[in-house]
Amino acid sequence: MAVIAAVLTLGGFASVYVPHAAAGSVPLIVHLHAVVFTAWLVLFIVQTRLVAARKISQHRSLGTAAMFLAALMLIVGLLTARDAARTGHTGIPGVMFPDASGFLLLNVAAIAAFTILVALGWTYRRRPQAHKRLMLMATVVALMPPGLSRLPFVSGHEAAIAGIALLFLLIPPAYDLLTRRRVHPAYVFAVVLALLTIPPVVTVMAATQAWQRVAAWLVA
Please report which confidence band the pLDDT of residue 93 belongs to, taking 50, 70 and 90 as the band edges: confident
Q: What is the pLDDT of residue 98?
A: 94
* 8 A C-beta contact, residue 69 and residue 115: no
Please report which confidence band the pLDDT of residue 43 belongs to, taking 50, 70 and 90 as the band edges: very high
Long-range contacts of 159-163 (CB under 8 A, 24+ apart): 160/94, 161/94, 161/95, 162/198
Q: What percent of the chain has pLDDT over 90?
A: 92
The 3-state secondary structure of 46-84, one letter per residue: HHHHHHHCCCHHHHHHHHHHHHHHHHHHHHHHHHHHHHH
Mean pLDDT computed over 60-79: 95
Cα separation, 205 vs 109, in Å, equals 11
Q: Pick from 39, 186, 36, 199: which is nearest to 117 by CA?
A: 186
pLDDT digits (tens, 9 = 90+) for 14-41: 999 999 899 988 999 999 999 999 999 9
For 27, the domain range is 2-219
Q: How many domains does the chain have?
A: 1
* 8 A C-beta contact, residue 130 and residue 183: no
